[in-house]
Structure 1
Amino acid sequence: MRERSQNVTKTAVSSLDDVSEDTLYDMWTRGEVEDLLDLPYEGLRVEIIGGHIVVSPAPTVAHACILSAISQALTAASMTDPDFPWTSTQVVNLYRRSAPPSCIPDLLVLERDVLDAAGEADTFGLLPDEIEMVVEVTSRSNSEQDRPPTGGRRLANPNKWSGYAEVEIPYYLLVDRSPKEAKTTLYSIPDRSTGAYLHGESWEFGETIQLPEPFNVEIETSRWRPWK
């Protein structure tokens, strides 16, 4: 069996360098971008971030286990409280009808009725105003796409962090598996004009995450580990 690299990331693919961001976005929503890329294998995630095509490998098992733990915490809350409205879904397109972002977050948290309605309508994906919280778990190959931009890059070269703030998703939960970080941060108070979240609260791996209202959910992280 051929070994698959965990460092597959392409930006500004040469065959599409002259394509405008709006055209690129339209191609992405029609599923045409993947057809133009020489991808080494199936199962890669193709997104348009900051006007560039970004291709990422499928997540590792440890990455997926963290997402499962977050989903399970939400499910447990719904089982103890019949009025708990929140549910989650993994690897679903997040888009706007006429403009970027055009990405595939690790996990989306939204009201159960909204997800059910989108499923019944068989929509292309979910819209920012349908989402209460987006979750990303960093990977070695593309962690800079998920973290707050540094060195004045937020406006010049936006990434997922700034994109989520720009479309005013209320909460962004970032699980950073870098050995230098090993922490989870809940960002809130998105500022559309600057593409930034104005508040953040962090928990080290091993600490219990306390999601505030409207979730009021605890997430145990004692088994979470940095990447090796």
Structure 2
Amino acid sequence: MTEETPKVSTLAIAHHHHELPDTPFNLWMRDELTDVLDLPHDGTRVEIIGGEIIVSPGPDYGHNAVVRGIQQRFFAAELTDPSFPWRCITTQDVKLSDIKDGYIPDLCVLSVENDKRARSAQLKKLPVQGLELTVEVTSPSTVHDDREPRRGFSGLTKWNGYARVGIPYYLLVDRDPQETRTTLFTDPDTADGKYLSSVSWAFGEAVKLPEPFGLEIPTDEWEPWQRT
């Protein structure tokens, strides 16, 4: 039994971007891209990564459980300490206007002040300027779009995009059975679109988010995805 259906590039659906009624980014910003591509409204994710339209199925339960575990640590810190300055939200559309990309991170972390502003404005597309940390958990269909580009991969990934727009912290949980590691990328180089520093932990080791978060996240129950 497969975990999920393969990712589909909509280049194959739309043939060429110039046949769309507007740019992919503009359509995505207006929430029209799904309908233009005649995609189902069933949890299918549509993102613009490196200027390319990427369609991927919704994640499996193991993926969502990892996200829940991270989110719980932020909730616990908030409940324990009323002055805890961070809030998190899942599957929020994030607009990277400077590079015309649009992502749906598995988890976003932003300050209390920026959280209040976003709620008051009832934002549908969150600007990157208010984000301190983004989290991505890999699935078979998204792994190459979430990681730092590797040899043989010619496109740009979210790793490049997050660095290009200056997200200070990018946490990547890689559930690939050959990896099973969590990596925190820091020191974004906005000019080159890459992170200059990183630290990683194997599954089973506690992830230690440094200040300004100061959180420890257990990973004992995290599991790799099942190979077919």
Question: Would you say same fold, with TM above 0.5?
Answer: yes
Give the CA deviation at 1:98.
5.9
Q: Does 1:55 align with 2:60?
A: no
Aligned to 1:191: 189
Kept after mapping to 2: 8 A contact 1:13/1:53 = no
Kept after mapping to 1: 8 A contact 2:7/2:54 = no
Give matches, 1:30-179, under 5 Å.
30-39=30-39, 42-97=42-97, 99-151=99-151, 153=153, 157-179=155-177
Structure 2 stretches lacking a partner, 5+ long? none
Provide the rounded CA distance (Å) in 1 between the counterparts of 2:122 and 2:81: 28
Aligned to 2:11: 12
Query: Which structure is richer in relative contact order (CA contacts within 8 A, separation 6 or more)?
Result: 2
Provide the rounded CA distance (Å) in 1 between the counterparts of 2:221 and 2:188: 30
Give the CA deviation at 1:94.
0.6
Structure 1 stretches lacking a partner, 5+ long? none
SS at match of 2:216: strand
SS at match of 2:109: strand
Provide the rounded CA distance (Å) in 1 between the counterparts of 2:3 and 2:214: 39
Alignment RMSD (CA, Å):
2.2
Of 39-48 and 165-174, more deviation after overlay is shown by: 39-48
> Alignment identity in percent?
43
Of 16-25 and 104-113, more deviation after overlay is shown by: 16-25
If the length of structure 1 is used for normalisation, what is the TM-score? 0.91
Of 56-65 and 79-88, more deviation after overlay is shown by: 79-88
Structure-2 change in CA distance of 1:222 and 1:89 (3 Å): same
Structure-2 change in CA distance of 1:41 and 1:114 (3 Å): closer
Aligned to 1:220: 218
Provide the rounded CA distance (Å) in 1 between the counterparts of 2:98 and 2:178: 38
